Structure 1
Amino acid sequence: MTSVAQRPPLAPTPTGEPAPAPRRRASPAQIGALVGICALAGLLYAWDIGASDYGNSYYASAAKSMTQSFNHFLFGAFDPYGVISTDKPPMALWPQAISIAIFGFTPWSVILPQVLEGVLAVFLLHRTVRMWKGENVALLAALIFALTPITVAINRDNNTDALLVLLMVAATYAFTRSIYSGSAGGRTRWLLFSAFLIGCGFVTKWMEAWIIVPGFALAFLLASTGSIRRRITDLLAAGGVLTVASFWWPVLHDVWPGRKPYMGASLDGTALDVVFGYNGFGKIFDFGQTYNGSGINVALGIVGMSGGNADIGRMFIHEVGGQISWLLPLCLLVLALVGAAGYRRIWDRVPGDRLDNNGWLTWGSWLLVTILVFSFVQGIWHPYYTAFLGPPVAVVAAAGIALLWNRYRSSAGRGWLLLPLGVAVTVVWAVALSGRDAHWHGWTRWVVVGLGAVAVVGLVLGRARPGLARGGLAVGVVAALFTPAVWSAGTAIEHGTNGGFPSAGPPNTAFMALLRGELGPDVEFPSLPPGIEPGMEPPPGMEPPPGLLLPPGVELPDFSNLPTGPPRGGGIGGPTLYPLMRQMLDYAVANSGDAEIKLAVEGGGLVAGAFIIQSDHMVIGMGGYLGADNAPSVAQLDRLVADGDLRFVVSAAPGGPRLGGIAGMGGEIQQQRVAWVESNCAVVPPSAYGGSEFDPEQMLPIPNFADAMLYSCGAGR
């Protein structure tokens, strides 16, 4: 080890403008490969999207409602009356609303924008990595990204993540252009454009877009040229652009003088409350602001889709691992190697390659910071959020394979062993992941084991016989990508578990039963955390996972005593308007007279979405997503009824809150509306519209329509 006194002096820092090595033009074969990868991505993302059932019915309802007026479009109204917005800013829904306005409201027109966003993200990722590592690594990164299982699932859905990922890849492209720019003005302009795109990400999915900011700022300070003063000035200017680009929409919403939707998931109807509360800083830091509702994780935890507990292993657990973690061990190995080499250069005062270091810092920080944030986030966290990790995993893995290959060929010591080690680790983890659900393409395990063995043997023998080395590398890459590729194809062809909570891999039959309202004892439940079983309290000293936190006064039932078959009215949370729902809506429309609002539905977007999707009548969903928002308030309901604008309401049957009912997740605010309806409206006999009487014994311990009753309000009730 070199002592401090013996360390060589630090080489002088290069001055002047950067002079990156000129890149060779792509060959026809490389251009064809890029076209083929983009075409493959488009095929996976667009395959049979007409069968998607509108994806997430909550966002599909909003996209349809946003076509009703400019105000609805600007503020992301959930319902056609504009009572409340979604709990996200509207940028991701704008392309969906435009597509609906052009092509009509169909499943494929709702999903089409995400397909295009996904393909464009693959293309931009290639162009970004090409500046750093050249064509071959860029092509491999694009292929890995296109074949990432959760990437396929999210681009076949209408959640906000597809646009968010595209904006982040575009921001990284602009940032890389800034680092590689040959002029001071070019560096500044591209950096400011990158900050603007990150701000657009904020207007897409709040603070998740800011995860990449710390790494980008550090990379710019270390890798950009020019004086330190100029770099700091540029970063401050970028911070100003980021602030304006992020907050223009929340501020516009809150200062808008005219009519506007109540901001979903807020406590006071403002967008800034969401940013600094439940869906923003509060989700990350858990500083005490409590949302009104119990959360959809109540149901998702029962069917094994809650996202698990907050700890460092979250990215590898059963619900999450198959979505994104296939290449994570390889990525972590590569980043450890890069970090160790960087530390050694700093210790020995040997300057490294500025541009190469920037690439590792940019993509590596995106990967590591995201893993840390996602692993320890305190609020509701869903496995499909891991789509945000798709780009850095693909790039770090592709660049890492190239790095290990160079070490393999040039190392005079034992460094060559790192490449076969990386192949072996990746193969072992792929076998472990696919073995968790061996009934769904579990055969890939044996193919991967065989390919991995051939690759490792080829790489070991290739040290003595170089002709075998390239073959071993190629087989190793195929072994690493084989099972994720099969999962991605299966997700596209078999549709996986899409809808409100998209996921790749084997369809979750319990989740689909939940949406249909058929979750009974005959349903095969996925594995729950150790020590937690349906109908049981967690062991002493063990905190229940987020998915099993129940509303006050509501107990988790014993699943063994549940009735079989669908409950009265069917399930909720999807686009299906079950017969009882249709009967209630038809009766309300026929008897509402001149009332502008034909029906108000308790239970929020989970219940009202089907009414909005399957009809063109003026239907409002009370309480936002879960029914927990104070919109419409009791005072607003009173005024709407008094003015003759509302006559019929769907609410819960009389009695206390029920976990399986339509008013079982919204907390105190929801119960205030339920009590107002019971006091001010009269139950319409089910026989009047062809329905059946409510039987409390048929309740299921999931969100469903079983206890829904139609109420008549106002004069002549």
Structure 2
Amino acid sequence: MTTHDTRPPKPDATPEATPPATSAQKNEPTPNPRRHRPALLVLLLATAALYLWDLGASGYANQFYSAAAQAGSASWTAFFFGSSDAANSITVDKPPAALWPMALSVRLFGLSAWAILVPEALMGVATVGVLYAAVRRRFGAGAGLFAGALLALTPVAALMFRFNNPDALLCLLMVCAVYCVLRALEDARTKWLLLAGVCFGFAFLTKTLQAWLILPPLAVVYAVCAPTALRRRIVQLLLGGLAMVVSGGWWVAIVELWPAASRPYIGGSQHNSFLELTFGYNGLGRINGDEAGSVGGGPPGGGGRGGGGAWGDTGITRLFTSDMGGQISWLLPAAFLLLVAGLVVLRRARRTDAARAAFLVWGGALLMTFTTFSFMSGIFHQYYNVALAPYIAALVAMGATLLWQRRARTAAALLLAGTVAVTAGWAYVLLARSPQWMPWLRWTVVAVGAVAALGLLLSVRLGRRLAVVAAGLGIAAGLGGPVAYAANTVNTPHTGSIVTAGPEVRGAGGRHGGMIIIGGRGPGPGGKGGRNHGGTAGPPPGQGPGPGQGHGTRGGKDHNALGGLLNGQQVSAKAKAALKKNAADHTWAAAAIGSQNAASYQLATGLPVMPIGGFNGSDPSPTLERFKEYVRQGKIHYFIGGGMGGGFFGTKGGGSSASASTSSDITKWVEKAFKKVTIGNSTLYDLTRPVS
């Protein structure tokens, strides 16, 4: 990865593709002296320590995915399909690649919070390492270390690399794909585009179409800038696309060709189709808000001032708002400024210049993702912004390095000083949104940033020593807020479906299902405060959320109804014992409305629990007739009451009324036909003992 291929150019290379012998014009990687390797090791170890710190405090984090990992560890069929339960009633609403590392970890080490979350933390360390390698090759080890540190300390990265949503693996694969494209841009070797295609393919199996957001800018940059003939560039891109289709399509083909009656229902779809899930609920529905089976009501664009409907306002300022700003936007203005600066500095470079191509690749990825996130009208959570973190980190490190090398020029010094001043000023705004949290920090950041900006301006005349001191102060000012946010994040347990990094923010709130959900804190394990958008704390391993979790109220809004969607239920020892009794006589120990409710009992008992209606309780799986048949055959022991009731959230954007009422119909039938009993704090219906 660090050595340059000295082989002669391929015979079909054009004269333009063969760089002159001048070293300044060669697309060669910068040297990687051994003295920098200890610094890289320190960076990776520090990242590992940050992401592994008190990791078990979050318990099973998102129980929806933890239960699927447990199921995959018990059943290879569930592993392959990404089933929510080992008896394979329904899959999660994503493809299964993100579940595979967790399921293998649980199979090897047993079910625990650490077995679930350590693979995510290691993905974070790997992402930092790959980003370092990508930036170092063109801009030096210092820039690579800076980029890696910026990524590691981004608040939303410190959140998601300690959590078990698919975004951690997606982020790693995206950075690997960019690295491969940058390697291909150096000498036009086809193997790097093939590897990039494989990364994109497995990223598709992680989070479907989000993985392909950055494909257009990367393909365009390669088509224009690669150092080989145009015909060969086009053929290489087609081969890379073929590798992507094969690496991502093999699983899709198997699932679509597999007889539907002998595989689990595809969660998140309304017609048991992964292609429908890909292009609907997880695809175009995220863009236009037309998501059949989604939580939240109202027509697309029918709520926010900017047209965001149930998921908040859309528009160019979306990622800077109270909801999003503290997660990702600390260095976003700097990234945009330094992207423009880098392209201006390199405007006269050759078409094949690898440094300019790097700015175009990282910048194109940033702009494409930023624009999509800003204007998409469908489901959008704050933690999605982790996808932007590597692009921002790379551009800031590359642009700052380029300007630093030219700091003797007045224009470069002005740009550096202006970037520091803008970054410090924006950090003040973000920190002021949490006025009771470390109030001194925002004033310190502004003061240090002002001194740093002035020092960078004066360094043109006063020399290198002052410039180095000013640069150090500028870095401190830029990272003061993110470091504090990241520290708060790793010291706070997180659980549930919708989590955020950092402290509580005044005026923050995401709209879900027509009501405002505001991040809350509650007593967590070990006396620490838990944080998510349901006001819950992280459960200890083997248990659901503690008493009162999922029932937080803030700002006068009652969120009790969301407990079954965002979090599971507390599982008492008596309820756990009841489900385990005679469990071998049944396929499913119990059934519950919604995946989170089912997940709590499945994680507590280790037994399959059927999630009726999938994650939202709105999937038509199983039908009432199929459920009755399961009950007649004795395959389900208990029905767990107290869930979402199936029809609370309904469907959005064209979901059928039949699918919306399926879980509600099952609930009504069970309540009428079977006697209710209370065991511990759980309401159960013994489906082997009808009322008659």
* Range of TM-score over shorter length: 0.7 to 0.9
C-alpha contact 1:683 1:709 (8 A) present in aligned 2:
no
Instruction: Tell me which amino acid in the other structure corresponds to 1:323.
Output: Q
Question: For each residue in 1:156-190, what CA deviation from the matched residue of structure 2 results, as whole angstroms up to 9, or x when unmatched?
Answer: 10111111111111111211221123xx5xx1111
* Cα distance in structure 2, aligned partners of 1:67 and 1:671: 32
Mapping for residues 473-484 of structure 1, pairs under 5 Å: 473-484=471-482
Please tell me whether the aligned partners of residues 37 and 146 of structure 1 are also in contact (alpha carbons under 8 angstroms): no
Structure 1's 239 and 596: CA in aligned 2 closer, same or farther, altered over 3 A? closer
- Aligned equivalent of 1:23, options 15, 30, 34: 30
1:316: which partner in 2? 320
Q: Residue type matched to 2:324 in 1?
A: V
Match of 1:542 in 2: none
Which residue of the other structure, out of 549, 554, 558, is the alignment partner of 1:524? 554
Gaps of 5+ in 1: 1-11, 526-533, 535-558, 654-659, 693-704
Question: Structure 2 length as normaliser, TM-score?
Answer: 0.84
User: Which position in structure 2 is the counterpart of 1:332?
Assistant: 336
Amino acid across the alignment from 2:520: T
Output the CA distance in 1 between the equivalents of 2:322 and 2:469.
Answer: 33
Return the match for 2:206 from 186, 204, 207.
204
Alignment match, 2:265: 262
Classify the secondary structure of the residue corresponding to 1:439. coil
Q: How does 1:162-177 map to 2 (within 5 A)?
A: 162-177=168-183
Residues 375 and 50 of structure 1: CA distance in aligned 2, closer, same or farther (over 3 Å)? same
**Structure 1 stretch 12-21 or stretch 98-107: which is displaced more?**
12-21
* 1:625 match: 615
Aligned counterpart for 2:648 among listed residues 647, 664, 670: 664
Match of 1:513 in 2: 535
Structure with a larger share of its residues in strand: 2
Identity %: 32
Q: Which residue of 2 aligns with 1:425?
A: 422
> Is the contact made by 1:306 and 1:383 (CA closer than 8 Å) also made in structure 2?
no
Q: Determine if contact 2:568/2:597 at 8 Å carries over to the other structure.
A: no
| Aligned mate of 2:439, from 423, 442, 450 | 442
Q: CA deviation at 1:69?
A: 1.7
Alignment of 1:600-619 (within 5 A): 600-602=591-593, 604-619=594-609
Deviations 1:200-257 (A, max 9, x none): 1000111111012111111111221111111111111111221222222222111124
* Partner Cα distance (1:119, 1:440) in 2: 29
Change (3 A) 1:584 1:578: closer
**Radius of gyration: which is bigger?**
1
**What is the rounded CA distance, in whole Å, between the counterparts of 1:618 and 1:519 in structure 2?**
23
Deviation at 1:394, TM superposition (A): 0.3
User: Which runs of structure 2 are paired with 1:149-168 in the superposition (5 Å)?
Assistant: 149-168=155-174
1:71-112 per-residue CA deviation (whole Å, 9 max, x = no partner) reads: 111000101211000001111110000000111100011001
Shift of 1:20: 2.3
Q: Which amino acid aligns with 2:283?
A: G
In the alignment, does 2:60 pair up with 1:54? yes
Q: 1:236 to 1:22 in 2, by over 3 A?
A: closer
Match of 1:359 in 2: 358
Counterparts in 2 of 1:193 and 1:415: CA distance versus 1, 3 Å: closer
Q: Quick check: 1:577 aligned with 2:570?
A: yes
Going from structure 1 to structure 2, the CA distance change for 1:167 and 1:644 (only over 3 Å counts) comes to same
User: Which amino acid in the other structure matches residue 252 of structure 2?
Assistant: P
Which amino acid counterpart does residue 603 of structure 2 have in structure 1? I
CA distance in 1, matches of 2:439, 2:495: 21
Helix, strand or coil for the counterpart of 1:452? helix
Superposed CA offset, 1:331-371 (max 9, x none):
111223344556x64xxxx7466111110011001111000
Does 2:16 align with 1:14? yes
1:672 Cα deviation after fit? 3.0
Q: 1:677 and 1:480, CA in 2 relative to 1: closer, same or farther beyond 3 A? A: closer
Q: CA deviation at 1:639?
A: 1.5
The corresponding residue for 1:710 is: 685
Name the aligned partner's letter for residue 599 of structure 1: A
Q: Does 1:105 align with 2:135?
A: no
Give the AA of the match of 1:206.
T
Q: In the alignment, what sits opposite 2:524?
A: none
Aligned to 1:410: 409
C-alpha distance in 2 between matches for 1:522 and 1:92:
30
Could you say what secondary structure the match of 2:639 adopts?
strand
Asked if the contact 2:636–2:687 (Cα under 8 Å) also holds between the matched residues in 1, the reply is no
2:282 alignment counterpart: 279
Distance 1:516 1:149 in 2: 26
- Alignment root-mean-square deviation, CA: 3.3
Q: Which amino acid is the alignment partner of residue 144 of structure 1?
A: L
CA pair 41-586 structure 1, distance change in 2 beyond 3 A: same
From 136, 152, 156, the equivalent of 1:146 is 152
1:130 deviation in Å?
A: 1.0
State the alpha-carbon separation in 2 of the partners of residues 476 and 293 from structure 1: 44
TM-score, normalisation: structure 1: 0.81
Q: For residue 513 of structure 1, report the CA deviation from its aligned partner.
A: 2.8
1:447-485 CA distance string (max 9 Å, x none): 212211221221222222113122111211121112211
- Amino acid in the other structure paired with 1:594: D
Q: Distance in 2 between matches of 1:203 and 1:296?
A: 30
**Residues 600-649 of structure 1, C-alpha deviation per residue, up to 9 Å, x if partnerless?**
111x1121111111112332111111111111122210211222222432
Unaligned stretches of 5+ residues in structure 2:
1-13, 21-25, 505-518, 522-532, 537-544, 652-656
Give the Cα separation in 1 of the matches to 2:603 and 2:670: 29
CA distance in 2, matches of 1:306, 1:488: 29
Instruction: Give me the whole-angstrom Cα distance separating, in 1, the residues matched to 2:111 and 2:263.
Output: 24
C-alpha spacing 1:131/1:296, structure 2 compared with 1 (3 Å): farther
Cα distance 1:439–1:13, how it changes in 2: closer, same or farther (>3 A)?
farther
Contact map agreement 2:74 2:107 (CA 8 A) in 1: no
| 1:446 shift after superposition | 2.2
Rate the CA distance shift 1:678–1:642 in 2: closer, same or farther, 3 A. Answer: same
Q: Residues of 2 paired with 1:678 and 1:592: CA distance? A: 25
* Matched letter for residue 266 of structure 2: M
SS of 1:66's partner is: helix
Equivalent-residue separation in structure 1 for 2:672 and 2:81 (angstroms) = 34
Q: Is contact 1:53-1:575 (8 Å) kept?
A: no
Residue aligning to 1:216: 218
* Of 305-314 and 583-592, the range deviating more from structure 2: 583-592
The letter of the residue matching 2:369 is: T
Counterparts in 2 of 1:229 and 1:120: CA distance versus 1, 3 Å: same
* Aligned positions, number: 628
Q: Contact between 2:341 and 2:399, CA under 8 Å: does it hold in 1?
A: no
Mapping of residues 674-685 of structure 1, within 5 Å:
674-679=664-669, 682=672
| Segment drifting more, 621-630 vs 256-265 | 256-265
In structure 1, C-alpha distance between the alignment counterparts of 2:149 and 2:425, rounded to whole Å: 21
